[in-house]
Amino acid sequence: MTKKTIFAVSDIHGHYTQLKTALDRAGYCADDPSHLLVCCGDYFDRGSENLRVLKFFDFLDRKVLLRGNHEDMLLNLFRTGQLMPYHCTNGTVATVLEFFGKYSVDGFDWIDFSGRTRMLDRVTDFIHGTHNYFETEHYVFTHGWLPTTLSASGPMIDPAWRRASPERWIAARRARWTEMYPQCGRLPDRTLVCGHVPTCFAAELYPERRPEDFSILRKDGLIVLDAGTFSSGEVNVLVIPDEPCPT
């Protein structure tokens, strides 16, 4: 394994300006061969700079891109072509209009991809290039949680989570750390780094946290990054220096 300085982010949700500001503040340099950027998913929806986010990650050389539940949602939308009410509440409609143009949605909430296949292929290829997880010597990065299984004492992280089916990974990406961490505990040998649920919700579990606190949450065996950027206007950046990583 080679050692890298990892810069980890999550849940950008179309907020390129906030992402770039946070990375610059953290000392990230895309041209530095010792810097590795890891994103724990949810690149699009809710913000207004989805195309800039796509371009930014597309042209990076040293990166690990993990899949979030919003990427699953976009792939499913591309397959069906029909917008549903939850696409409005999740910000997906605005993303579609930004990627494919203001005339790409008809009056019946169907997406017209004709003449827009290049962008469709670009976004689809980007999502297909993402991964379920990334692991280093001391950390496992994912979006929501890892696939679980039931034991006599309740749910636990499946010892064979790396080999879980695509369907179980889809469910894991939607799982909330606020529910899973108190039930499942931690990995035996590494710290889990995730996003998906903003860290302000830690106030429901830990009295020392305030409801307006969107900073990185650190617990035994768990680090949560989601800064609720669409509400807080901030992106959390976890910096891990000299971390042994797969070559």
pLDDT band at 50 (very low <50, low <70, confident <90, very high): very high
Is 152's pLDDT higher than 70? Answer: no
* Interacting residues of 49 by C-beta distance below 8 A, sequence separation 6+: 14, 15, 16, 17
**pLDDT of 91-126, one tens digit each?**
898 999 999 998 888 876 888 888 899 999 999 999
Residues 107 and 144 in one domain: no
88 with 173, same domain: the answer is no
Same domain, 164 and 222: yes
Burial status of residue 144 (CB atoms within 10 A of its CB: 0-12, 13-18, 19 or more): buried
The residue assigned the tokens 């010792």 is 34
Q: What is the pLDDT of residue 75?
A: 95
Residues 35 and 112 in one domain: no
Judge if 111 and 224 occupy the same domain.
no
Same domain assignment for residues 29 and 108: no
Write out the two tokens for 160: 């064979």
Q: Which residues is 156 bridged to in the sheet?
A: 149
Q: What is the number of structural domains in the chain? A: 2
CATH of residue 135: 3.60.21.10
pLDDT of residue 1: 84
Indicate the residue among 107, 129, 151 that finishes a domain. 129
| pLDDT tens figures, 187-196 | 999 999 999 9
Domain containing 82: what range?
69-129
Are residues 8 and 40 located together in one domain of the fold? yes
